[in-house]
Amino acid sequence: MPRYKLTIEYDGTPFVGWQIQAEGASVQGALTDAVERFTGERVHVQGAGRTDAGVHATGQVAHIELEKHWRPDTVRDAMNAHLRPLPVAVLAAEVAPDDFHARFSAIGRRYLYRIIVRRPDLVLDRDRAWRVLRPLDAQAMAEGARQLVGRHDFTTFRAIGCQANSPVKTLDRLEVQTAPLDFGTEIRVHAAARSFLHHQVRSMVGTLVKVGEGAWTPGDVKAALEARDRTRCGPMAPSAGLYLAEVTY
């Protein structure tokens, strides 16, 4: 059976998350329905990562197996036709080797977290960024981020219900960037690793915002990491600012 690799973009706001659940619309369910309407087949859409409710993607990857060989551009266009008007789009489809697996073949994942610092409510970026009212010290946040890069036990930044076998992960990149806006400032946090613990990125970002506010020092971030204690974590950042930006193979 031919296997296809799909690169997918979606706005996670109306979904319960990537994974099909007993109640509520999911991204995986929307893609499954689109394939069925296109081919008549009910297939399993295997994603590279299970994003939570409200989390977005600009570079999610999935794979499907179909009974018939289709041109990749036909797969892309037909799925998109059946996805409308949902905020999900297949950006690219390509034939993949039989041993390709969207999740287990991945060697890296990159997330982006967007923070917009301004007093007025967000309009165009509502549900797509975290609005913070007071100025943040991005340089201090960057110093705090450096405390987390490398191979560590990330128990402090792990969800209580996380099902990963080990809290030990290697964080390859945690970088803080700023860009001026006409009204306010955007702070972008880039996180890259082979894989992440459940809620790890949002937990790290929430902690870095405490540093940016001046409530924590970069040294406090290191101490929290070394404590290996979930109660030592800063508040978890909202889901709306998080994007699965890229999966590498």
DSSP state of 239: G
d(CA 128, CA 117): 13
What are the backbone dihedrals phi and psi of residue 231, each rounded to the nearest 5 degrees, phi first?
A: -70, -15
Task: Specify whether the backbone of 114 is left (phi greater than 0), alpha (psi in -120 to 50) or beta.
Answer: beta
Q: Hey, how many other C-beta atoms are within 10 angstroms of the C-beta on 44?
A: 12
> In the annotation, is 33 catalytic?
no
d(CA 196, CA 21): 22
Whether the link from the prior residue into 238 is cis, omega within 30° of 0, is: no
d(CA 178, CA 175): 10
- Closest to 245 in 3D by CA, of 76, 13, 57: 57
Contacts 24+ apart (CB under 8 A), 219-224: 219/147, 220/144, 221/144, 221/145, 221/147, 221/148, 222/147, 224/156
| Greatest distance between any 2 Cα atoms in the chain | 58
Q: Hey, how many other C-beta atoms are within 10 angstroms of the C-beta on 67?
A: 11
- The residue from 33, 52, 127, 220 that is catalytic is 52
Q: Which residues are catalytic?
A: 52
